[in-house]
Structure 1
Amino acid sequence: MKKIGIAVNQTKHSAIDVTRKLVQFLEAKSVTVFVDRAAAEKIDRPDIALDILEFQDKVDLVFVLGGDGTLLGVARQLANTSLPILGINLGHLGFLSEAEPEDLPAAVERVLRGDYHLEKRMMLEASIIRNGQILHKDIALNDVGIAKGSFGRMITLSVYVDDMYVDKYSGDGLIISTPTGSTAYSLSCGGPIVSPHTNVILVTPICPHTLNSRPFIIQKDQEIKVEVSAPHNDMGVTIDGQVGYKVEANDLIVVRKSLHSTTLVKWKERGFFDVLRQKLHGSD
């Protein structure tokens, strides 16, 4: 492992200091380092600046400095590559991160000697269709949300799985998530926690207006179609809570497993439920 890229969320406290230290650690180990262009300028190293999309042909692994949101964004940008991603948590919970800033020297050593394993995480592909035409297509690592706007009234969503009618959901919307996203927005809406090693798709209603509306899980290769109905157009589709698209009544949202996946660097001794227990309940 001789070429490593670093993607940085500069809005995080101490992000630039941590970037500078990480570059020093890596270069001291004779590693070729590239840093996303904006952060490279901040540490006065224009000689190692690259756009994140250029990492594909230049590096073997990517360190992401930030929180889960930062990693989600980088994962979408690099989705058509097989580059492994190691998250360094500068955020809060950090479900997707594997190291903390104080662990940098140890994390570098582990990566360089190959003391880790790789986890493939499934992604979703979402298409927004109006009058038979695809308006937008995007991919998500966590989830695809279909919801009313801040001041919009209730919306109704008719859900089909493999063209078979499931049910009609009235309320604030619907979350379609991967197992990786099961600990994110879906969890806060009452969805189940699902091991990321289980490749399934979760469907979780958001504040449903009926008591019999419950989350459900389908196989990874099944396709979900959602028909939108509402007396207003204050609605949207969100991708990982970061990218948004306006939708209108009678639009169709189609969600399926993406052909792309995200590869995460994980320590061998840390299991999913160890991380879950630590992040949600502390270290007890």
Structure 2
Amino acid sequence: MNDDPVSSSGAGRVSPRTIALIGKYHSRDIAESLSLLAMNLHDRGITVIVEEVTASNSAAPVGQRSWANCDFVTIGDFASIGEKADLAIVLGGDGTMLNAARQLARHRVPLVGVNQGHLGFMTDIARCDMLTCLDALLNGLFTPEDRMLLVAEVWRDGQNIASNLALNDVVVDKGSIGRLIEFELFIDSEFIYSLRSDGLIASTPTGSTAYSLSANGPIMHPQVSGIALVPLCPHSLTNRPILVSDRNEIEIRIVQATDSRVHFDGQVTVDLRAEDSVRIRRSEFSISLLHPPGYSYFAMLRQKLHWSEKPIAH
């Protein structure tokens, strides 16, 4: 990340000089938005980096043969973006944001979301407002909010065979076969319970409005320092979601399973075997989401979840 962005007039605010653009892969919908943003930022004197896979899967601006030959942007991978960009604008839905967050968390690049997906819990800006929000963004008027990530390791025969980050959740499930899996849950090495079920979700506050919500897990405000453990269709009437501290270490030991897997944000998958262990804890990295002026988490919930507004007093 660029360590010396130009300061603006507001106390503690910075104006970005280099901005990366990251889009939803294999989507024609983002091509126009990508072109408009790139040209508008360039006209404002901003150095623009387009993520390489986004560039290869999106049509170049009118008059340009390809993004690679576009004279007002550079093409870069996530490592290059992490090294050079002051912030990244993500065009797509929450899935695109999740991928960008995992890739850039180690580089501490703040993210701004332009919603071109469906619900868009993490992508605040509507496509129609994209260009009108640029002044506030470039003047440092967006508000940063840190979101925790999880890191999960898969252990087999005493060896760590896989490790990944997750912004939303780490999910252990039964796989494609319809049989339940049996696992044991430990928190800080203390045995909690043995359960037969379709699986277990370990969710961050960010992920509490994703898969966890569908499984009757609690909605957690982003400032809550906790991890929700939500059973998937437990073969028991007494198992309920548990909220634990983000300082706890969680271990899921597979006792019996035919085709079980662990998923990271629903995008990266590792196959599991009996006696494998999935160890989950809060990551040392966090991601900063930049919200436009007037953003409210609860207003976002009311809109996305179609909650009724407060009645007007008569």
TM-score interval (norm. to shorter): over 0.9
Partner amino acid for 1:175? I
Identity over the aligned pairs, expressed in percent? 37
Answer with 263-272 or 91-100: which moved more: 263-272
Task: Pick from 37, 41, 47 the counterpart of residue 26 of structure 1.
Answer: 41
How many Å apart are 1:153 and its aligned residue? 0.8
Pairing 1:1-284 to 2, within 5 Å after superposition: 1-41=16-56, 42-43=59-60, 44-46=66-68, 47=71, 48-230=74-256, 232-281=257-306, 284=309
Cα distance in 2 for residues equivalent to 1:219 and 1:40: 41
Distance in 2 between residues matched to 1:164 and 1:266, nearest whole Å: 39
CA displacement at 1:152 relative to structure 2: 3.8
CA distance in 1, matches of 2:112, 2:79: 17
SS of residue paired to 1:78: helix
Alignment root-mean-square deviation, CA: 1.4
TM-score in terms of structure 2 length = 0.87
Say if 1:202 and 1:217, in contact at 8 Å, map to a contact too: yes
State the AA in 2 paired with 1:40: A
Q: Supply the distance in 2 between the matched residues of 1:192 and 1:39 (Cα, whole angstroms).
A: 34
Structure 1 unaligned segments of length 5 or more: list them.
none
CA distance in 1, matches of 2:115, 2:79: 22
Pick the structure with greater CA Rg.
2
Whether the aligned pair in 2 keeps the contact of 1:152 and 1:235 (CA below 8 Å) is no
CA distance in 2, matches of 1:174, 1:148: 10
Greater CA deviation, 71-80 or 46-55?
46-55
Encode CA deviations 1:130-149: one digit per residue, 9 max, x unaligned: 11111111110000000001
8 Å CA contact 2:137–2:292 kept in 1: the answer is no
Runs of 5+ unmatched residues, structure 2: 1-15, 61-65, 310-314
CA positional deviation for 1:164: 1.0
Deviation at 1:38, TM superposition (A): 3.5
DSSP-derived class of the 1:211 partner: coil
* Equivalent pair of 2:83/2:107 in contact (CA under 8 Å): no
TM superposition shift of 1:75: 0.6
Q: 8 Å contact 2:301–2:307 — kept in the other structure?
A: no
How many angstroms apart in 2 are the aligned matches of 1:9 and 1:219?
A: 33
Aligned residue pairs, count: 283
Displacement of 1:12: 3.4
Amino acid at match of 1:67: G
For 1:120-177, what per-residue CA distance to the aligned partner results, in whole angstroms no more than 9, with x for missing partners?
1000010111111111111100000000012241111211111111112211000001
- Determine if contact 2:181/2:258 at 8 Å carries over to the other structure: no
Amino acid at match of 1:274: A
Q: Taking structure 1 as the reference length, what is the TM-score of the superposition?
A: 0.96
* Equivalent position amino acid for 2:163 in 1: K
- Judged with a 3 Å threshold, the aligned counterparts in structure 2 of structure 1 residues 39 and 124 are, in CA distance, closer, same or farther, namely closer
| 1:80-119 CA distance string (max 9 Å, x none) | 0111000111100000011011111122111101111111
Question: Residue deviations 1:17-43, cap 9 Å, x none?
Answer: 110011121112111111112433531
Q: Secondary structure at the match of 2:134?
A: helix
Amino acid at match of 1:263: S
The separation in 1 between residues aligned to 2:150 and 2:55, in whole angstroms, is 32
Q: 1:63, 1:87 within 8 Å by CA — same for their partners in 2?
A: yes
| CA shift for structure 1 position 268 | 4.0
Query: Which amino acid in 2 is paired with 1:255?
Result: I
Deviation at 1:11, TM superposition (A): 2.9
Cα distance, 1:10 vs structure 2: 3.5
Question: Retained in 1: the 8 A contact 2:133–2:292?
Answer: no
Distance apart, 1:283 and its partner CA: 7.7
1:216–1:26 Cα change, 3 Å: same
